[in-house]
Amino acid sequence: MKKTIVAATILVAGCSSDPATEAPVTLEAGLYEVTVGGGTLVEFKSGKRTEQICFWSADAVTFPTNPLVHTIGEWDNCTSQLDDPRGNAISGARLCDRKAPMKVAYSGSHTTNSFDIRGTVTQGSGEGGGVMRLGSGDFAIVGKRVGNC
């Protein structure tokens, strides 16, 4: 019985790896089904919740450094704070200079054929920066390779 418990504990510990400590892999080029979740300003230009996006080889290679531009596109009056990828971990932010300043902070990870990005949209500045406004809150962008382009 003790051997079974020890083996199960080692197996579970081995499966729960940290993407930041994994050997980096490149996202495979191809057609991805991408879903945006959450009730925030983070959405596809079409307004749909799920779209198919073709990642060409160059897109797949640069995806970890700027995943938002490859999924939801650029936004007016915004700049990106791009963190260098660590292993297969992804993180960064998008800062927008608007009437109510906005920050989109995100983190996540990718494998060779999928990605999962979670983040938060906050609007406002100063002490009221955390005040809930329409379009603020948590979001997710999840994608899985479904074929070739």
User: For 117-145, how does the pLDDT look when each residue is reduced to its tens digit (9 = 90+)?
Assistant: 999 988 876 544 454 555 678 999 999 99
Predicted local distance difference test score (pLDDT) of residue 5: 43
Distance CA 140, CA 118 (A): 4
Q: What pLDDT digit, counting tens, does each position of 21-42 carry? A: 898 899 999 999 999 988 777 8
For 41-51, what is each residue's pLDDT tens digit? 787 888 788 99
Describe the strand order of the beta sheet including 30-37 as a list of residue ranges: 50-55, 30-37, 137-147, 114-123, 102-110, 89-96, 78-82
Q: Is the pLDDT of residue 6 over 80?
A: no
Residue 72: pLDDT over 90: no
Q: pLDDT band for 7, please (50, 70, 90 cuts).
A: very low
